[in-house]
Structure 1
């Protein structure tokens, strides 16, 4: 009799434990890569929010920018693990759509972070910087700082066809006063002022190579736009090796802690700061809410952007690097 009672108690405890586990919301996070500091911070934000809200976070990433196959596999693995919400920064905004659609048919909510799908309606929601505005801000800054000096511009872009890369590039051009496509286009605009366009894949080493190639093409480049701060760091190294670092302005996007330090050091003139930690924490929160009430979050949520520079220009709203360090990656 005692043995039977003990067995019942153990069974009840096991059932209660399994019920608690089953009730634990499972959230998936798929980033473009695991090494880019932007996505490292995004993962940290998701982990912190998941712990706070009692959710289980499963994370994965592509091997490199552009690795769609790795993200497809990650989606399949996360569904098998019970994820009902998946947060994703798409490596290929179009190629990922069939996998997302298949998962959505199984009741999974998808939220894009930072990078939209193409079309944007491919996910249930998007939490991201206004990337076109981020480009406009550094374009306006560069135009004012150039003070009428003719510009010979190099653009170190992401890679062809990516929405974020196009939005930042075209936004920069628009802010600088050059004819450019609007935020809906995924094509990179070009005018005579842009003397070199090269793909950096958001990588420092590739950014350095791209800048070296641009300098060979036109040694008189005096303004460099970069898709992000790792690419900007690579561009600076190439310029320094060529003895041109003091005569060329670099502007960029991200506002990461390392990037803000490079602004303070004078390597980057200005950067548009975005907030990946905020994107991730909002995504996890929405996923937990979905697990509780079944209501999906929809539409676009702007997570903010701030121009950071220690050399402000009249008529261009900005904050200094002290503020930039306080806010880098959304620390506050």
Structure 2
């Protein structure tokens, strides 16, 4: 069954109803539900596509719930509703790891398999999976910033929220690399938790441009921050002068890439991450075990660190690759 992911968490229970309960109780194949950070944006639209495609391939009921804003409380309420349904596997891309811990523990206590993505420090889970290590993703962006600015001027860092685990781990890795390799290049200000909103990141960028004439670059670890920052830079006629880079949906950002406003970035495929949620959930539901070095569906060979699975699936975003990736629906 296909469902529209753009649901308010407050109405999830009413939408899914008693028919979903009957499906969740079926023992032959699992029901797998993934709670996104926020619904209706290109990144999570692509993830939803991957969830549904892998669900069809494996013959499981797999779908996404997308809260109407990046409010951690809405994710908690969505998980509560899924627990009440009795689904077999819950996946989450957390907005705030700590806020979610109690409700994820509740899910596991009731025998539900719990998976996270972009949250390697989550505790009350079976596994977290990462398509690329935090160190690799952060350092790739730092090198790009250094190469394109010559390590001159100041820079800013955007994350989806100051408590989003993966975003801040990527940012930490980037800043640490720049501190070591571009010691004269400093942050214009502390990092900003605006990268899940085009409007917030645009407004923040406009403020930074006014306040910091030496601003040379912006790294956004959140798909909407790159777009918002690029729009602000373009408005001010500073395309190419202020380097904008980070995660973004190729379909959403490719015009800005070709206009020279977005320098590029590194990420992974949200469509493949959606597929990985379902493939991993199905494997665990069937009693499959996972060991370091295993070659898993979608993820390929993984490194197991505690209960975090690290794949190496980087995608480079630049003028040469963005159109092809956009045509794939990313």
Fold agreement, TM-score > 0.5: yes
Compute the TM-score of the two structures, normalised by the length of structure 2.
0.78
Q: Quote the residue 1:163 is aligned against.
A: 165
Q: 2: distance between equivalents of 1:273 and 1:83?
A: 30
Structure 2: distance between partners of 1:60 and 1:255: 19
Cα 1:260–1:170 shift into 2, 3 Å? farther
Displacement of 1:160: 1.6
Write out per-residue CA displacement over residues 98-132 of structure 1, whole angstroms, 9 at most, x where no aligned residue: 1111110111111112x216x33332111223233
Structure 2 match to 1:5? none
Cα displacement (A) at 1:240: 2.5
Q: 1:223 aligns with which of 210, 217, 224?
A: 217
Residues 158 and 225 in structure 2, CA contact (< 8 A), matched pair in contact too: yes
> Residue 142 of structure 1 corresponds to which residue in structure 2?
145
**Range with greater deviation from structure 2 (239-248 or 103-112):** 239-248
Match of 1:284 among 268, 271, 278: 278
Give the deviation of 1:72 after TM superposition: 1.7
Deviation sequence 1:295-319 (CA, Å, 0-9, x none) = 5895313252133224xxxxxxxx7
Counterpart for residue 232 of structure 2: 238
For the pair shown, the structure with the greater C-alpha radius of gyration is 1
Do structure 1's residue 83 and structure 2's residue 87 form an aligned pair?
yes
Q: 2:128 aligns with which of 120, 126, 132?
A: 126
Give the aligned CA root-mean-square deviation in angstroms: 2.9
Query: Can you list the C-alpha shifts for 1:144-173, whole angstroms capped at 9, x where unaligned?
Result: 22235x222122332223222212222222
* TM-aligned CA deviation for residue 227 of structure 1: 2.0
Does residue 309 of structure 1 match 2:312? Answer: no
Could you tell me which runs of 5 or more consecutive residues in structure 2 were left unpaired when the two chains were aligned: 1-21, 292-306
TM-score (norm 1): 0.77
Assess, with a 3 A threshold, how the Cα gap between structure 1 residues 299 and 196 changes in structure 2: closer, same or farther.
closer
Give the match's secondary structure for 1:269. Answer: strand
Change (3 A) 1:71 1:323: same
Aligned length: 291
Q: How far apart, in 1, do the equivalents of 2:85 and 2:23 lie?
A: 15
Q: Is the 8 A contact 1:255 1:274 kept in 2?
A: no
Q: 2:41 aligned with 1:36, yes or no? A: yes
Matched, 1:48 2:53: yes
Deviation at 1:26? 0.8
Match of 1:256 among 243, 250, 255: 250
